[in-house]
Structure 1
Amino acid sequence: MTLLTVRGLSVDFLSGVRAVDGLDLELAAGRVLGVVGESGSGKSVTSLAVMGLLPPDARVTGEVRFDGRELNGVGQRTLRGLRGNRIAMIFQDPLSCLNPYYPVGFQVAEAYRAHRRAGRRAAHRVAVRMLERVGIPEPERRARAYPHEFSGGMRQRVMIAMALCLEPDLLIADEPTTALDVTVQAQILDLLRDLRERSGTAIMLITHDMGVVAGLADDVVVMYGGRAVERGTVRDVFYRPRETYTKGLLACVPRVDGPLPVRLPTLRTPVTAAGEASEVTV
């Protein structure tokens, strides 16, 4: 069953920049969709458009349907009822997304209370249980700690616990492993994989790391200049890429079975903001 459908999505800002240009994508329940591309390709803007979190100067056109319901243009009250409850998001920088003035357990519990109308004690028990589920040691004690007392990997785990406490149908993970060492990256990906297997949650994985996509996603959409330039299953895109840009992204991944390329391929394509062609090394 298709859970999320995006058709002809475009996002324009008052500055004249078109960040997303006629994007189509689909995500079925229980599947993982990797949305990949370099910085500025429109990945994060797409996720914010789905969540209804773009600033007022953004003009969003096209369809964004979640579980058959159109989200583009609905009121904030409706979106607040969905966000965190049926659609959750893990943001790129957990430190800036966590409130430094409140313990992490309180923040996880507040997300639960906002949608379940639970009491403080019941919500606290849920928060501790979720912190334990994401692998934070001594969860009862660490629930009373503040964000600055956690490492980057542990803060990301807190964000995942906050997203999971309501068992959403759709989880949007925006660069969930950025700035983490490879060991912690693997642990975070294992958490997301476990979430998908245990809860059947669909995941939209926003990343520039093709290795992360290979390890977690079922399907891939490759974005460049706000557009989808290639799409398919992970196997098809990785082993039979059609577009020059996709081949360039794959060439950027170091391989243990071959030398690094002397020169990365150059793609000549229109830049959507200015409408003029330019050469871009990928």
Structure 2
Amino acid sequence: MTLLTVRDLTVDFAGGVRAVDGLDLDLAAGAVLGVVGESGSGKSVTSLAVMGLLPDARITGEVRFDGQRLTGLDRRALRRLRGDRIAMIFQDPLSCLNPYYPVGFQIAEAFSAHRRARRREAHRVAVRMLDRVGIPEPERRARAYPHEFSGGMRQRVMIAMALCLEPDLLIADEPTTALDVTVQAQILDLLRELRQRSGTAIMLITHDMGVVAGLADEVVVMYGGRAVERGTVREVFYRPRDTYTKGLLACVPRLDGPLPDRLPTLSAPEVTA
């Protein structure tokens, strides 16, 4: 069953800047879709448009979630969906977490906003979620502030907040950016485990082809706001059609071959998927 459908999505900003240009996407329930491309290709803007978080942009096209049209939906209806059935992990957890409140309070607040739970019940949920994402001593750490956590732990807090309501769709925007490789592997293992346990569909926004290879089922490659290639991970990685996709893959270091003297130059795409 298709959970998220995006058709002919176009996002324009003031000054005639077109960040997304006629994009189509499909994400099945319980699946992982990797959206890849260089910085400025329109990946994050696409995710924000799906979430309805671009009030100053001109958005055309259609976004449907579980059959319900999101484009043009009023603000109150969108707020009921966001956090409850659709959740998002943003790129920088430190800037997204409020420095003045303990992390447990922030997770509990997100839960209470949709479930109208009592404070004690919401706190129990926050502690349980911190434990679920692998934070040691969750009862004690729930009283800690964001600056008291490492980058990887803050990302786990964001995942706990996003999943406290068990959403059907999780949008993860560069969830492993600025993390060392060990912490990256832990975050990806956590997302993989949560998907298997809860059946949550994941839209994974990244520029890291290795991350996509390890987690995604299908891939959409973006360039200049457009999808230039799409397919299963195996199809895109082993039989890429577009020169831009080939260039992205050629930039990934390999352990089974000689190191190149220089990285390849990426060419503009030849075809539009």
How high is the TM-score relative to the length of structure 2? 0.97
C-alpha displacement of 1:55:
3.6
C-alpha displacement of 1:269:
5.8
Give the structure 2 partner of residue 43 of structure 1. 43
Q: Distance in 2 between matches of 1:98 and 1:155?
A: 8
Q: Distance in 1 between matches of 2:91 and 2:54?
A: 15
The question of 1:170 aligning with 2:138 is answered no
Gaps of 5+ in 1: 271-282
Q: Distance in 2 between matches of 1:43 and 1:211?
A: 17
Give the structure 1 partner of residue 150 of structure 2. 151
The question of 1:53 aligning with 2:53 is answered yes
Give the structure 2 partner of residue 221 of structure 1. 220
Q: Distance in 2 between matches of 1:168 and 1:207?
A: 21
**Secondary structure class of the residue paired with 1:267:** coil
**Secondary structure class of the residue paired with 1:155:** helix
Residue identity opposite 2:112 in structure 1:
R
Q: Distance in 1 between matches of 2:124 and 2:75?
A: 30
C-alpha displacement of 1:263:
4.3
Q: Distance in 1 between matches of 2:193 and 2:99?
A: 29
Shift in CA distance, 237/126, structure 1 to aligned 2, threshold 3 Å = same
Percent of residue pairs bearing the same amino acid type: 86
Gaps of 5+ in 2: none
Shift in CA distance, 263/118, structure 1 to aligned 2, threshold 3 Å = closer
Give the structure 2 partner of residue 32 of structure 1. 32
Q: Distance in 2 between matches of 1:198 and 1:11?
A: 35
C-alpha displacement of 1:267:
1.1
- Matched ranges for 1:1-282 at <5 A: 1-56=1-56, 58-261=57-260, 262-268=262-268
How high is the TM-score relative to the length of structure 1? 0.94
Give the structure 2 partner of residue 279 of structure 1. none
Q: Distance in 1 between matches of 2:83 and 2:186?
A: 23
Q: Distance in 1 between matches of 2:133 and 2:208?
A: 22
Shift in CA distance, 55/243, structure 1 to aligned 2, threshold 3 Å = same
C-alpha displacement of 1:195:
1.0
Question: Which deviations, in whole Å up to 9, do the C-alpha atoms of 1:129-165 show, x marking residues without a partner?
Answer: 0000000000000000000000000000000000010
Task: Report runs of 4+ in structure 1 exceeding 6 Å deviation.
Answer: none
**Secondary structure class of the residue paired with 1:246:** helix
Question: Which deviations, in whole Å up to 9, do the C-alpha atoms of 1:12-39 show, x marking residues without a partner?
Answer: 0112110000000100000000000000
Question: Which deviations, in whole Å up to 9, do the C-alpha atoms of 1:43-80 show, x marking residues without a partner?
Answer: 00000000000142x00000000000110011110100
**Secondary structure class of the residue paired with 1:20:** strand
Q: Distance in 2 between matches of 1:242 and 1:268?
A: 13
Q: Distance in 2 between matches of 1:268 and 1:181?
A: 31
Contact 2:251–2:263, Cα closer than 8 Å, also in 1: no
Q: How well do the aligned residues superpose, as a CA RMSD in angstroms? A: 1.0
Q: Distance in 2 between matches of 1:90 and 1:68?
A: 23
Q: Distance in 2 between matches of 1:229 and 1:198?
A: 33
Shift in CA distance, 145/260, structure 1 to aligned 2, threshold 3 Å = same
**Secondary structure class of the residue paired with 2:54:** coil
Q: Distance in 1 between matches of 2:132 and 2:268?
A: 47
Number of positions where the alignment pairs a residue of Structure 1 with one of Structure 2: 269
